[in-house]
Structure 1
Amino acid sequence: MLTLRMFIQKSDVISFKNMEDLYSRLNISKNLKDEFKSLISELNDYLDRYSPLTINSHEMRFEKLSTSEPNPDQLTNRELMDIYLYGDYAHLDSSKRVRFERIAQNNLFAPMGNHVFVTIVNKLVEIIDRAVEMNKQAIEQLKDQI
């Protein structure tokens, strides 16, 4: 988890944000730059989608996913990922820890929260795998310039 976190935490040297900035400066094909930018957009769109989980001060529940206006307490995939990462795994944040504990201690809600989190991690790993392939292409293009 801690290594995965480095890809999404903007201050880390291997973050997707830093990679995107690097791609924009490299002397590589426009097509590859656009492809990488599209990959990052895909990730951000996914993370900003609403999950089926709603948590507020007095209840937790599952929401049917729809394209209509979400419940204001409905968590995005990014928010849920942050609750798990920073509430349990890394650099504990007290407010995220409280929310994580509420999820973890609820016998009905915890399995669904865990499932959604694992789904988010799977998407993140898929994006990382695709970024690795693009990075290999970028390296080949740069080697051809030497």
Structure 2
Amino acid sequence: MATREELNAARLFVEKANRLLKSTFLKEAAVNMGWTLSGKKDEAVRIEHRGPRWENVEAFVLTFRFFIQDNESISIRNMAKVFSSDLATPGERRRFYEIRESLNKYLDGSSMFKEGARTASRREVMDVFIYGGMSHAKPKKKEKFDAWMRHVLLGPMTTTEFTTILSTVLSAIENIQRICVTLLYRYA
């Protein structure tokens, strides 16, 4: 039998996912995201980030953190409790774990940025932005974030990579949300 805690987690997951899916960040990311490289002879090369405005990214991340911080009942890791319970059918359970595994594989994959001989993972890029530049200032992550942002090419490129990562994680959140809606419908 499903517990109140599991049902509440599924409801909150749907609620917070809806907030992200209606965000200005998402609307702006859908229009024109990327970076532009330009320059003229005898001038420095310029690179500019195109995409969501920074304040919209910050607003998005405020809610987004519910899905990645394990102190939240609806973090993707903690949602395994919901999908491991009798609340979920075997098919829903399997689909959740497929989504989670695919997301982890994506996040642990290589970003486009090398640091010396090492390539930063997408998870690292996400963590540096969120925990070094936006919502916290963990010293090592803050130092790395500041170094990236000072760099004429790396700043805009990592910002674009970060917004792409957020959009990809949101796709996984949306897929999990659909499963949660089905679960909740059964128990309504």
User: 1:19 and 2:79 equivalent?
Assistant: yes
Matching residue of 2:163: 118
- For residue 54 of structure 1, give the secondary structure of its aligned residue in structure 2: strand
- Matched letter for residue 27 of structure 1: L
- Matched letter for residue 90 of structure 1: S
CA deviations on 1:73-127 (whole Å, 9 max, x unpaired) are 2100001100000011112201000000010011111111111111100001111
Percent of aligned pairs with the same amino acid: 27
User: 1:80 and 2:125 equivalent?
Assistant: yes
Q: With structure 2 as the length reference, what TM-score do the two structures score?
A: 0.65
Task: Give ranges in structure 2 of 5+ residues lacking alignment.
Answer: 1-60
User: 1:4 and 2:49 equivalent?
Assistant: no
CA distance in 2, matches of 1:77, 1:97: 17
- For residue 120 of structure 2, give the secondary structure of its aligned residue in structure 1: strand
Q: With structure 1 as the length reference, what TM-score do the two structures score?
A: 0.82
CA contact (8 A) 1:51 1:75 kept: yes
Match of 1:42 among 102, 110, 113: 102
Matching residue of 2:17: none
Residues 66-77 of structure 1: pairs in structure 2 closer than 5 A:
71=117, 73-77=118-122
Matching residue of 2:15: none
- For residue 52 of structure 1, give the secondary structure of its aligned residue in structure 2: strand
CA distance in 2, matches of 1:27, 1:100: 41
CA contact (8 A) 2:148 2:158 kept: yes
Size of the aligned set, in residue pairs, is: 128
- For residue 17 of structure 1, give the secondary structure of its aligned residue in structure 2: coil
CA distance in 2, matches of 1:41, 1:25: 18
CA distance in 1, matches of 2:154, 2:76: 31
Residues 48-59 of structure 1: pairs in structure 2 closer than 5 A:
48-56=108-116
- For residue 77 of structure 2, give the secondary structure of its aligned residue in structure 1: helix
- Matched letter for residue 175 of structure 2: R
Task: Give ranges in structure 1 of 5+ residues lacking alignment.
Answer: 57-70
CA distance in 2, matches of 1:91, 1:37: 29
